[in-house]
């Protein structure tokens, strides 16, 4: 049975894929779907409840929440993918070098990983952001630079297992250089767990970005993100429930979708992992 056949046998995984594809579609079509300018202030409709004119209501400045939610989806996906891309690049390179060369190189890399793991990731991010100007680019970089350790360990473990296989020994016997063996022969065979980890990492990055924006040190207004819409809802929870409900549900559904997709990919790659 092929990968996709195994994947679609898991209804939860298929549901996760549908959620993720829907998010991409909404993000791509935001300029067409958005009924208003996300920064347009309307003093005549401040904190208007959900209606036909404003599907998700308005905020304390009269801005349409549905429009801001649509633009916030693009911000969250961008942060998730760029941050995970940075983390994956660092993790794959360090894990590949550590696993292939072993010896003192492995010792140095893994002790550095252990040191990084000693710091709680979220508080490390808070500490770094405190010294930087809050912006979407800094958020992407900081999340990526503080979340590569798990991928490093995964890639190292795969390299330790694969570097003694016959196809690698044959490549060495034919005089292939170390970079060629690492990137052409071993790395493609070690990417399956990395794909799963990256998928799950996007959910974590979206959650961290939302938390940072909620605390006021993430994506800064007037740029809309689900986290800063939640912040606005905090002070008006008693009179404007929609400012907390809709972004909260969006974060929940997005994180759930990526987690289900990641678990489905993991099980489809290696059915033995299914519990």
167-174: average pLDDT = 88
Per-residue pLDDT tens digits for 256-271? 999 999 988 888 886 5
Here the CATH number for the domain that contains residue 137 is 1.10.3720.10
Q: Is residue 77 part of a domain?
A: yes
Q: Is residue 84 part of a domain?
A: yes
Q: Is residue 43 part of a domain?
A: no
**pLDDT confidence tier of residue 237, bands split at 50, 70 and 90:** confident
Instruction: Give the per-residue pLDDT at 271.
Output: 55
Print the domain residue range for 64.
3-35+52-273
154-179: average pLDDT = 89
Q: Is residue 263 part of a domain?
A: yes
Inform me whether the pLDDT recorded for 175 exceeds 50: yes
Over the chain, what HEC string results?
CCHHHHHHHCHHHHHHHHHHHHHHHHHHCHHHHCCCCCCCCCHHHCCCCCCCCCCCCECCCCCEHHHHHHHHHHHHHHHHHHHHHHHHHHHHHHHHHHHHHCHHHHHHHHHHHHHHHHCCHHHHHHHHHHCCCCCHHHHHHHHHHCCCHHHHHHHHHHHHHHCCCHHHHHHHHCCCCHHHHHHHHHHHHHHHHHHHHHHHHHHHHHHHHHHHHHCCCCCCCCCCCHHHHHHHHHCCCCCCCHHHHHHHHHHHHHHHHHHHHHHHHHHHHCHHHCC
Inform me whether the pLDDT recorded for 275 exceeds 90: no
Q: What is the pTM of this model?
A: 0.87
Per-residue pLDDT tens digits for 110-126? 999 999 888 887 787 87
Instruction: Give the per-residue pLDDT at 63.
Output: 92
Per-residue pLDDT tens digits for 32-78? 999 899 988 888 888 889 999 899 999 988 999 999 999 999 888 88
Q: Is residue 40 part of a domain?
A: no
Instruction: Give the per-residue pLDDT at 20.
Output: 93
Q: Is residue 75 part of a domain?
A: yes
Q: Is residue 138 part of a domain?
A: yes
pLDDT above 90 coverage of the chain, percent: 37
Domain count, the chain: 1
Inform me whether the pLDDT recorded for 272 exceeds 60: no
pLDDT above 70 coverage of the chain, percent: 97
Inform me whether the pLDDT recorded for 1 exceeds 70: no
Q: Is residue 45 part of a domain?
A: no
């Amino acid at each position: 049975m092929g990968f996709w056949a195994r994947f679609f046998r898991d209804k939860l995984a298929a549901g996760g894929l549908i959620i993720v594809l829907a998010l991409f579609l909404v993000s791509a079509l935001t300029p067409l779907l958005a009924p208003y300018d996300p920064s347009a202030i309307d003093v005549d409709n401040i904190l208007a409840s959900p209606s036909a004119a404003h599907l998700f209501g308005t905020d304390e400045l009269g801005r349409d929440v549905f429009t801001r939610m649509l633009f916030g989806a693009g911000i969250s996906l961008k942060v998730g993918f760029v941050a995970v891309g940075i983390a994956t690049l660092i993790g794959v390179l360090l894990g590949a070098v550590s696993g292939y060369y072993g010896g003192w190189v492995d010792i140095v890399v893994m002790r550095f990983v252990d040191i990084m793991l000693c710091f709680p990731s979220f508080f490390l991010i808070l500490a770094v952001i405190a010294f930087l100007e809050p912006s979407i680019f800094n958020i992407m970089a900081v999340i990526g630079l503080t979340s590569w350790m798990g991928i490093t360990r995964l890639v190292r473990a795969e390299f330790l297992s694969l570097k003694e296989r016959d196809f690698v020994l044959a490549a060495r016997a034919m005089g292939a250089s170390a970079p060629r063996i690492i990137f052409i022969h071993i790395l493609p065979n070690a990417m399956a767990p990395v794909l799963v980890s990256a998928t799950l990492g996007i959910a974590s990055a979206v959650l961290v970005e939302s938390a940072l924006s909620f605390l006021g040190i993430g994506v800064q207004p007037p740029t809309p993100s689900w986290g800063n819409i939640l912040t606005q809802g905090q002070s008006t929870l008693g009179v404007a429930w929609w400012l907390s409900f809709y972004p909260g549900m969006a974060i929940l559904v997005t994180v759930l979708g990526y987690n289900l997709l990641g678990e489905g990919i993991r099980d489809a790659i290696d059915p033995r992992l299914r519990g």
